[in-house]
Structure 1
């Protein structure tokens, strides 16, 4: 049986959803949206979780850096008494589709790091953990870059980013890739250590034929559309929730 700590490490990393990807067709369309990249920032989060009836806590951090030609995202999650339990990173260039990842690395507690590589020269995606391969057609993301691509789209077309709208991306994980569809739910007020913030609630459901995690994201337009809360919910209602505590290194600060 998986320990509560290991379940937390599998679920809790900010901007690196552990939603399991089912086998996906390699025949995916290129997805191109308007984008407006958010300014570079360091974000810190408080983590609360309920796993197998046990309450767990910790903290997470994200370092987002971007300029006209390059981006990088590095996140880590720490649990009380255990220290660092999860690290993930994504880096790459900026193209006409937005973020164009080159490498995605994921390192979980007591596990070897996995690497997903976007071969821009040969036009394919490969995985250190499997022999799967997918073509690069444009707009493909990994499980760390996807949140920031979603933010960039929301910033570019905020009036279209309204309740009921759907936004689909092709996302590579640690072993394979599939299409992810995000649905905008509503505008909600979220309590944070920085005060109450109006946030756009976005929902990512598992595939219809899978019993995987659900992912809820809340983006705050007043804070450059940074994610102020993320919640991973298991089919048995166990959950991991991350709430923004502080933002620093914002442009102009």
Structure 2
């Protein structure tokens, strides 16, 4: 049988157990002291959390911020809204994109307000400008400027003047008294021209005071206008003396003669004589705008200013109501004041010419007949003699022709 355990037997065992525990506790303390300077172990849960954060996508841009503008083609440059409209966006979004053009839409202007390229503006302005439709004297549009065409050249008289035309006017004094007729005839071949007029009293005036005046002008047609060479006036059955004007363009001199009187003057560019001025007016009216030139007769050489109305109007004529362009011809004191009405639908031919002399007497030429381009237009009988309200219908005897005879009779 085994020997029973006694206190004597347990004492050594307890001592051994105590020593063993002391040894174990001393070794663990030294082990822990060595590991005090080492990083503490990372908990497994923390490792899992970090791995999750590393795999998560970047945080989304706040809903109030606008995405940065996407790069676009160099033309047109990308436009960005003003900073005031992007107050909520991050500051980095306001930086220009790499490779984007430096030009930007000015502050305060949105993408929709970006101005079009200069070329588009020019094309838009040209499209909105009336285009001239001049074709050898036909009706043209109101716009007569060519600000966008550096190569534009105004049409010349060769293009704008009818090759040959005959016009006949009834002449009235004071608006109602029919005293005579005036006939115009011209012809040109594109290089030279010749024009003739005949004015004579008719009816009762012709019986009481017979008068006939023939005028002629000849010269050249150039791109810049008519260039008269010689003007003559032959007065028959009347006091006015014969007149003559010679234009010396080579030496820039103009010589005037009236009866025995002679004078010479420097010749100014664009100068005309008493009847070539009508052809000059016809083609210049088609070019448009105001113009001026000097006019020579046998007794004086003075400037004239031509002022067209801003808009066309209508005029009752022997051919019916016509579209007309009125031009006022202004002269120095002592010269007659003239108004002329041109009909664009009749190749810009004159249909009325009114003269006011220095005494205030009015002489009115109203169209009676036109021949051009193998066409003949005749006024309805009696229509050219229409009177103005308030005018007397009592026949009047015209004054005896004298030095104050109207410009178209001199």
5 Å matches for 1:135-214? 135-155=266-286, 157=287, 161=288, 165-185=289-309, 186-207=311-332, 210-214=333-337
Higher relative contact order (CA 8 A, sep 6+): 1
Show structure 2 runs of 5+ residues with no match: 1-152, 376-410
Preserved contact between residue 268 and residue 294 of structure 2 (Cα < 8 Å): no
4+ residue stretches of structure 1 with deviation over 6 A?
Answer: none
Distance in structure 2 (CA, Å) of the matches to 1:196 and 1:234: 28
Asked whether 1:103 is paired with 2:234, we answer no
| CA deviation map 1:198-241 (0-9, x unaligned) | 1111111232xx24421111111111111110001134432100
| CA deviation map 1:85-136 (0-9, x unaligned) | 2221111111232211011112333333110011234331101234332233
Deviation at 1:246, TM superposition (A): 1.2
Preserved contact between residue 166 and residue 183 of structure 2 (Cα < 8 Å): yes
Q: 1:223 — aligned with what?
A: 346
Secondary structure of residue in 2 paired with 1:110: coil
Distance in structure 1 (CA, Å) of the matches to 2:155 and 2:264: 27
Preserved contact between residue 214 and residue 233 of structure 1 (Cα < 8 Å): yes
Secondary structure of residue in 2 paired with 1:154: helix
Asked whether 1:244 is paired with 2:367, we answer yes
Q: 1:22 — aligned with what?
A: none
Preserved contact between residue 186 and residue 196 of structure 2 (Cα < 8 Å): yes
Distance in structure 2 (CA, Å) of the matches to 1:189 and 1:145: 26
Q: 1:110 to 1:166 in 2, by over 3 A?
A: same
Q: Which has the larger radius of gyration?
A: 2
Corresponding residue pairs, total: 210
Deviation at 1:34, TM superposition (A): 4.7
Show structure 1 runs of 5+ residues with no match: 1-31
TM-score (norm 1): 0.75
Q: 2:193 — aligned with what?
A: 71
Secondary structure of residue in 1 paired with 2:161: coil
Secondary structure of residue in 2 paired with 1:205: strand
Greater strand fraction, Structure 1 or Structure 2: 1
Greater helix fraction, Structure 1 or Structure 2: 2
Q: Please, what is the CA RMSD of the aligned residues?
A: 2.4
Distance in structure 1 (CA, Å) of the matches to 2:369 and 2:177: 23
